[in-house]
Structure formats: structure tokens, C-alpha cells
Amino acid sequence: MADTQELERDWILEEAGRRTGGLTDLGPNGDIYLEGLDRTLDSLRTEADLNELGHMIARERMLLHTANRLGYVDDRKTDPAIATQQIVKPVFIIGMPRTGTTILHDILASDPANRAPLTWETMFPSPPPRAETFTTDPRIAACAATFPAQDEQIPEFKAIHPMGAELSQECVTMMGEAMITPLFHNQFRVPSYEDWVDTDAPWSSVYEFHLTQLQHLQAHNAGDRWVLKTGAHLWGLDHLLETYPDARIVFTHRDPVKSMTSYASLTTLVRGVGSDSVDPAEVAADWTPRLRNVLMNGIHVRQAKEYPDAVFYDVLFTDFVKDQFAVVESIYDAFDLPMSDEGARAMKAFIDDNPPGKHGVHSYRPEDYGIVPDQIRADFAEYVHHFGLPPEEKPGVDTMPG
């Protein structure tokens, strides 16, 4: 029987302190972190309908983010190099779920000039990773050891979103250290928490800590530029641009019927590990208006004012599927990024090594999630019209990670 006190704030803080050798300082905006933690824990206890495995997964996720935040804050006190780091012209990939952002991120990350956060260093960020041990750090093995269990729990996940200790990680996971992230409502049913994330959460604090995280990871292992990714940046795009006014932003687009159905499939699959009562239709009905609202927020933020130092570039999923490297070349051209022969070879090799279907096929049908395609396209009419997105006529099958 799961111990419910393990999903209480005091227990999480005490255990995280124990795991970090007695650390207690959550740093600037620690009060916001605690508000987010309280809201998450309350939703987990009252709305998520967790089974015993789900309770354990939720407990460990809350502990991991709390311990990581404590480590980020403490390392910054003792390592002067961290606070001196300048983040210049970072590249962000944003867009709706299942629009090719994952594989695009991995392709760009394979260019040695690009620096992407890797899964192992975001899972275990303290102390800051170092260039001289970046490929031999024992934290890589510790991270890799967590994946066999995940593969056993969700064998279909590889076809949707391959994971690995040395693959790139997306910012939505890093946002857990701010305790404001749509990741939690993807993994667990926590609608009250997500309502706060959607409407009232102070997203400026997310980017204040995101900057801290990039400085931390860069301090002893810098690249020429950061390459970052998550659709969650649509929630806080205005704050992203305030924090990184010279950002280069790739905005990916796809038929929203496919995006919504594929995301409902993914969320249903992930939640099913930790709960025995997942309703696929409820997942789609809940997430579709949320994602429409944040998508339009991102578009309206972009339209509302000029961002003279930022550059936006739009990518259609259908173009990316046809010729991945051609899209990569167009991104480099749009952002005036140099592409070395070494970088081109590495990215082409990654594409060749990861053909469509390598990790399996992700199949989904709108009717399995109560989705009515004509209604979705009507709900997203402004978006569809703005980017000229034709319906994808092929059946619901994705052969590349989203």
C-alpha cells in the first residue's frame, strides 16, 4: 500500500535534503517553486488516481526535481564560473506536439558545434558537467540504468519518442525544476495543477531558472550555440523572448488533427503506466482546448510586437518528412549559422542511421479518442489558415519520432 505522506510537501523537502547531503536553499523564487509543488502534490493525491507504481513514479519525479533545484542553487554559490556565462543567440525549436520537433532536435544536436542538453546531465546536473569527462561521466551509466524499466513499462514508447542517456533532452523536463511545466499533466492526470500552469502560473520564474540551468550546464562544457526544444515554450514565449531577446526560433507546424490525435495517444499511453483508469476520450477532450489556447498565444505573442534581435523560421511537418536535411540547411541559412563539413556529415549520418520506422511505427485513429477531424480543423481554423496547412490524408501512422 502506497504511503500517502510521501506526496506531502514536508516529506518531499526532507527526503530531497537527505539525498543532497542536507541542502535546503531553493534559491530565488523558492516560494513559487513551493506553490507549484503544493499544487502538483494536491492534484496527484486527489485527481491522478495513481496505482502503486504511479505513486512511486510521481514521488520520485517530485524528489528528483527538488533535489536538482537544490543542487543548481548550491553549485552556483560555490562555482563562480557559472554566473559569468553568457547565453548568445540560442536556437529554440517550438511547436505543437508530434510535429517533428524531437527528431529535428536530435539531428541538430549531432552537429558538434551545437550544444543540446543531454538526458543524463538534466537528470543529474550537480555538479556541472565538464568537457574532459563529458562522455565518461558515471552519471551517464546511472541515467542509462533507468531506461530498461521504462522500456518494459511502455515498450511502444520508442516508436513515439526514443529516449537515451546521451540523447538530447527537452526543456519541458528542465522546467520541472521551476515546478511549472505541462509535463506533469502529460504523465499524470492533474487538471487543477494544469489549470494553474495555463492561466496563473508566473512563467517569468520558469525562464529565470532556465537561464540559471543553461549557465550551469555551459560553465565547463560550452558549445558554439545552444539548441533547445519543447512545445512548452508556447506557454511562455513572451518571457522566453524577454530572457533571450536574440533567440533563433524554429516553429514547426502540422495538420492539427494529426497533432491532437497523436498527442492523445501518447498521453494515454504514458498515463496508463501510473493509473488503471485512463479515459482516452477524456484525455483528448481535456488537452485539445489547452493546446489550441497556448498555440494561439504563441502566434499572438509573435504578432503583437517587433522583436528586432530575434529570428523566427517556420517549418512544415510535410516538408520535413520529405527531406530532413534540406530543412536543416534552410534553418542554418535562415539563422545565418555556419555549417562545417564535419557538422553536415554528422547530421547526414544521424538521418541515415535513424530512418523512418527504425524504432517502430506509432499508429492512432481519431475515433479511438473521440476526436472529430472536421471539428478539430474548425477549432484550429485561424492556425490552419495562417500557415496554409492542408489535411494529411494518410492514415494515422507516424514513422518518425514527434
Contact 75/217 with Cβ under 8 angstroms? Answer: no
Determine the Cα–Cα distance for residues 254 and 388; give it in Å rounded to an integer. Answer: 10
CB atoms within 10 A of CB 332: 17
Q: How confident is the model at residue 394 (pLDDT cuts 50, 70, 90)?
A: low
- pTM: predicted TM-score of the whole model, two decimal places: 0.93
- Kindly write down the DSSP assignment for every residue of 155-195, as one continuous string: TTHHHHS---TTSB--HHHHGGGTT--THHHHHS--HHHHH
Determine the Cα–Cα distance for residues 123 and 173; give it in Å rounded to an integer. Answer: 9
Overall average pLDDT of the 382-388 stretch? 93
Q: Is 147 helix (H, G, I), strand (E, B) or coil?
A: helix
Percent of the chain residues past pLDDT 70, beyond the cut = 92
Overall average pLDDT of the 137-152 stretch? 83
Q: How confident is the model at residue 148 (pLDDT cuts 50, 70, 90)?
A: confident
The pLDDT value recorded for residue 159 is: 47
Q: How confident is the model at residue 364 (pLDDT cuts 50, 70, 90)?
A: confident
Residue 286 pLDDT more than 90?
yes
156-181: pLDDT as tens digits: 544 454 678 999 999 999 999 999 99
Q: Quick check: bond before 97 cis, omega within 30?
A: no
1-54: pLDDT as tens digits: 567 789 999 999 999 999 999 999 999 999 999 999 999 999 999 999 999 999
Overall average pLDDT of the 294-302 stretch? 94
Kindly give the pairing relationship between strand 311-316 and strand 248-253: parallel
The pLDDT value recorded for residue 147 is: 82
Q: How confident is the model at residue 397 (pLDDT cuts 50, 70, 90)?
A: low
Contacts 24+ apart (CB under 8 A), 333-340: 335/89, 335/91, 335/248, 335/311, 337/91, 337/225, 337/248, 338/113, 339/111, 340/111, 340/112, 340/113
Q: How confident is the model at residue 150 (pLDDT cuts 50, 70, 90)?
A: low
Overall average pLDDT of the 225-249 stretch? 98
What cell numbers appear for 201 in the block? Answer: 502560473
Contacts for 52 with CB less than 8 Å, ≥ 6 apart: 1, 2
The most confident of 152-161, 257-266, 386-395, by mean pLDDT = 257-266
Domains of the chain and CATH, by start: 88-188+202-398 (3.40.50.300)
The dihedral through the CA atoms of 165, 170, 171, 173 has a sign that is negative
Torsion of CA 294, 299, 305, 307, to 10 degrees: 100
Determine the Cα–Cα distance for residues 84 and 344; give it in Å rounded to an integer. Answer: 31
Residue 105 pLDDT more than 90?
yes
41-96: pLDDT as tens digits: 999 999 999 999 999 999 999 999 999 999 999 999 999 999 999 999 999 999 99
The pLDDT value recorded for residue 157 is: 46
**HSE of 175, CA atoms in CB hemisphere, 13 A:** 26
Residue 256 pLDDT more than 80?
yes
- Position with higher pLDDT, 55 vs 402: 55
308-363: pLDDT as tens digits: 999 999 999 999 999 999 999 999 999 999 999 999 999 999 999 988 766 566 57
